[in-house]
Copies of this chain bind each other. A is one copy, B any other.
Amino acid sequence: MVATSVIRRILIANRGEIALRVLRACRELDIVPIAVYSDADRAAPHVLEADEAYRLGPAPATESYLRGDVILEAARRARADAIHPGYGFLSENAEFAEACERAGVKFIGPPAAAMRMLGSKTRARQAADRAGMPRTPGSVQGLASLDEARSVAASIGYPVMLKAAAGGGGKGMRAVFSEEDLSSAFDSARSEAERAFGSGEVYLEKLIERPRHIEIQILADEHGHCISLGERECSVQRRHQKVIEESPSAVVDDDLRRRMGEAAVRLALAAGYTNAGTVEFLVDQNRNFYFLEVNTRLQVEHPVTELVTGLDLVHLQIRIAEGQPLPFAQSDVVLRGHAIECRVYAEDPDNGFMPSPGRITRLLQPGGPGIREDCGIYEGWVVPMDYDPMLSKLVAYAPTRDLAIARLRRALDEYVIGGIRSNLGFFRRILRDPDFCAARIDTGYLDRLLREALPPPSSNASDAAAAVAAAVFEATQSAAGTPAAQPVSAWKAAARREASGATPHP
């Protein structure tokens, strides 16, 4: 038996919306939430809302949120019982998980051994084979040479996909459609993987045409129970990065859901996995599914699963980490309704999706029925340039997919983020696209949409109303003695202050 031990103080080793997400779960369970922050994040919302906050170091992640030793020192000073890593940063770092255990602090996630087995894509493919899971044809080990790549590709047939074993985010990935392209693709995939992950190990698999990316959420306690919580459809991607996620998937019926769920649970049990995790699959046009990889942590897109199952995954993560058994069985898990999530980023879709850090001068947030926002910003916050561009996750829940889309459109229309550019308008476009609305999506869907011509710009009537509005701003504000807009870009001013060694907030 596993001993249970109550967790009273959790250090949250993350920032942004996920740090707030975990912080809220702590409050709800009467656990003291402890924040850590870099110099860029002193005024960040997760610091504002925490009970205690510890400085880690300068802005770059390598000097702050990736410094496991500094984080453990903060945990010691804060007398934290446990560390929640969120996603990204140290969340899939087996060495850090081990260091936590050595320091007597519970790491809220799977054991380091399970993380190692499933964290490498080639080792995970081997584990999938042992668990009798379908996977794409191809190698289950790193390719030693171009010759080996040639022979594997020839045996499974083109097109094939080269992938980095340590990969993520589409880095070190190349689609190869014929043998003559293999050599250069092999070299570039290897060097990109080497640069991005410190390991040039690549493997090769059959390319599934127009696949859907569908993943299964699992939860495993430390008593050998593991259950699956339905699927998430994550096919709407840009450059292999998820943009919109939903649950359930339009192509997954009860039978397929059961089979994918059972396969995921089998793999997790075989790997000695505990806590929350996600098994990702590709699903082809004939609804065959193929194992893709495992994410050994909470996912960005976990809210859609929470909305359709009615459960709270972070609560359950914490209870599992305390050694408690899962409080329900597989048969208790029922999906109801439909949930869709948008990842709201500080990026400019009209300018090649360039990052758009800077001060949020104005923020109007959506609300009302069926809207959940997991937000990491506030009006006045200067979004730092040092971390990923995620601002917020906007999620809609409704009885049906059509109504969830309608609700999300409504919420997006209420939402205004001023001062920086965001991808809100891009979501409005996707959510009005006939293919998306009919769930005719696969992992190439969004790139195809982006090649289409943009919808026409503003109408003449809008332009006239805008002219009147601009005139009113000018008239009221010149009367008040201040110019219509801030005299200098808030961002520029902030950047200058930072460049001169001062912090963005006086």
In the bound complex, how far is the Cα of B414 from the Cα of A28, in angstroms?
Answer: 12
Closest to A20 in B: B368
A154 within 8 Å of B by Cβ?
no
Given contacts A28-B410, A336-B336, contact A369 B372 (CB under 8 A): yes
Q: Is the CB of B374 within 8 A of A312?
A: no
Give which listed residue, B310, B371, B372, B414, contacts A336 with CB less than 8 A: B310
Give which listed residue, B303, B314, B315, B406, contacts A29 with CB less than 8 A: B406
- Residues on the B chain within 8 Å of A406, using CB: 27-30
Given contacts A403-B28, A406-B28, A476-B506, contact A49 B369 (CB under 8 A): no
A209 within 8 Å of B by Cβ?
no
Shortest CB distance A94–B (Å): 29
Shortest CB distance A375–B (Å): 6
Q: For chain A residues 4-26, which have a beta carbon within 8 Å of chain B?
A: 20-21, 24-25
Query: Interface residues of A toward B: which range?
Result: 35 or more
In the bound complex, how far is the Cα of B416 from the Cα of A49, in angstroms?
Answer: 13
Q: Is the CB of B368 within 8 A of A372?
A: yes
A187 within 8 Å of B by Cβ?
no
Contact with B along A56-71 (1 / 0, CB 8 A): 0000000000000000
A262 within 8 Å of B by Cβ?
no
Closest to A368 in B: B24
Q: Is the CB of B414 within 8 A of A49?
A: yes
Shortest CB distance A182–B (Å): 47
In the bound complex, how far is the Cα of B475 from the Cα of A506, in angstroms?
Answer: 12
Closest to A413 in B: B27
Q: Is the CB of A372 within 8 A of B374?
A: no
In the bound complex, how far is the Cα of B406 from the Cα of A371, in angstroms?
Answer: 20
- Residues on the B chain within 8 Å of A410, using CB: 24, 27-28
- Residues on the B chain within 8 Å of A378, using CB: 364
A250 within 8 Å of B by Cβ?
no
A370 within 8 Å of B by Cβ?
yes
In the bound complex, how far is the Cα of B428 from the Cα of A27, in angstroms?
Answer: 14
A84 within 8 Å of B by Cβ?
no
Closest to A328 in B: B399
- Residues on the B chain within 8 Å of A310, using CB: 336-337, 399
Contact with B along A265-298 (1 / 0, CB 8 A): 0000000000000000000000000000000000
A466 within 8 Å of B by Cβ?
no
- Residues on the B chain within 8 Å of A364, using CB: 378
Q: Is the CB of B372 within 8 A of A371?
A: yes
Q: Is the CB of B369 within 8 A of A399?
A: no
Q: Is the CB of B368 within 8 A of A365?
A: no
Shortest CB distance A95–B (Å): 31
- Residues on the B chain within 8 Å of A315, using CB: 403
A192 within 8 Å of B by Cβ?
no
A398 within 8 Å of B by Cβ?
yes
In the bound complex, how far is the Cα of B410 from the Cα of A310, in angstroms?
Answer: 18
A373 within 8 Å of B by Cβ?
yes
Given contacts A399-B310, A413-B27, contact A375 B369 (CB under 8 A): no
In the bound complex, how far is the Cα of B366 from the Cα of A24, in angstroms?
Answer: 10
Q: For chain A residues 391-422, which have a beta carbon within 8 Å of chain B?
A: 398-399, 403, 406-407, 409-410, 413-414
A306 within 8 Å of B by Cβ?
yes
A311 within 8 Å of B by Cβ?
yes
Give which listed residue, B312, B334, B368, contacts A403 with CB less than 8 A: B312
In the bound complex, how far is the Cα of B452 from the Cα of A226, in angstroms?
Answer: 48
Contact with B along A31-67 (1 / 0, CB 8 A): 0000000000000000001000000000000000000
A367 within 8 Å of B by Cβ?
yes
Given contacts A49-B414, A310-B399, contact A369 B24 (CB under 8 A): yes
Q: Is the CB of B367 within 8 A of A374?
A: yes
Q: Is the CB of B506 within 8 A of A398?
A: no
In the bound complex, how far is the Cα of B20 from the Cα of A378, in angstroms?
Answer: 23
Closest to A25 in B: B369
Shortest CB distance A447–B (Å): 29
20 A–B contacts, CB within 8 A, in A order: A21-B369, A24-B368, A24-B369, A24-B410, A27-B413, A28-B406, A28-B409, A29-B406, A49-B414, A303-B369, A306-B369, A310-B336, A310-B399, A312-B370, A314-B369, A334-B336, A367-B375, A368-B374, A369-B372, A476-B506
- Extra 4 A-B pairs, beta carbons < 8 Å, given A24-B368, A369-B372: A28-B406, A310-B399, A312-B403, A367-B372
Q: B-contacting residues of A (Cβ < 8 Å)?
A: 20-21, 24-25, 27-30, 49, 303, 306, 310-312, 314-315, 334, 336-337, 364-365, 367-375, 378, 398-399, 403, 406-407, 409-410, 413-414, 476, 506
8 closest A-B pairs (Cβ-Cβ)? A27-B410, A28-B406, A24-B368, A310-B337, A367-B373, A28-B410, A310-B336, A28-B407
